[in-house]
Amino acid sequence: MKYTKEQRLDIGRRIYDGEISRYEAAEEYVINEQTARNYMRMYRDANQLPPKQGRRSICAPSFKKAPAELDELKAMTKEELIQELIKAKITEARLKKATR
C-alpha cells in the first residue's frame, strides 16, 4: 500500500515518540519492519531530531494485550476467536516472509 509523504511522516512520528514500535507499525500499516524504520528516520531527519537511544529487545514483537482487548476477546464467540487466530497466523507469516 502506498502512503503519502504526510502519512509516512505521521507513522514515523508515532514510532519516534514511542506510541508504537516499528514492529507494531509494520503490522498495523501492513508494511515491512524496515520500511517502518525508514519512515521513523524520515520523520527524524525532516524535523532535525537526534537519533533515539532505544533499547534493543530480544523478542521484538510485543504480544501483550491491553486489558480492554482482553475483555473484547472474552466476549467473542468460538468462531470469532478462530477467525482472530487465523488473522494473527497470517500476519505472523507475512512478517516472517517480509524479513527473509
Q: What does the alpha-carbon distance between residue 81 and residue 76 come to, in Å, rounded to a whole number?
A: 6
In tens digits, the chain (100 residues) has pLDDT values of: 689 999 999 999 999 999 999 999 999 999 999 999 999 999 999 999 998 776 555 455 555 555 667 778 788 888 988 998 899 899 898 888 877 7
Strands (DSSP E) found in the chain: none
pLDDT value at residue 46: 95
Task: Quote the pTM value.
Answer: 0.54
Q: How many structural domains compose the chain?
A: 1
- Residue 30: domain span: 5-98
23: which residues sit within 8 A by CB, 6+ positions away?
33, 36, 60, 61, 62, 95
pLDDT of residue 61: 54
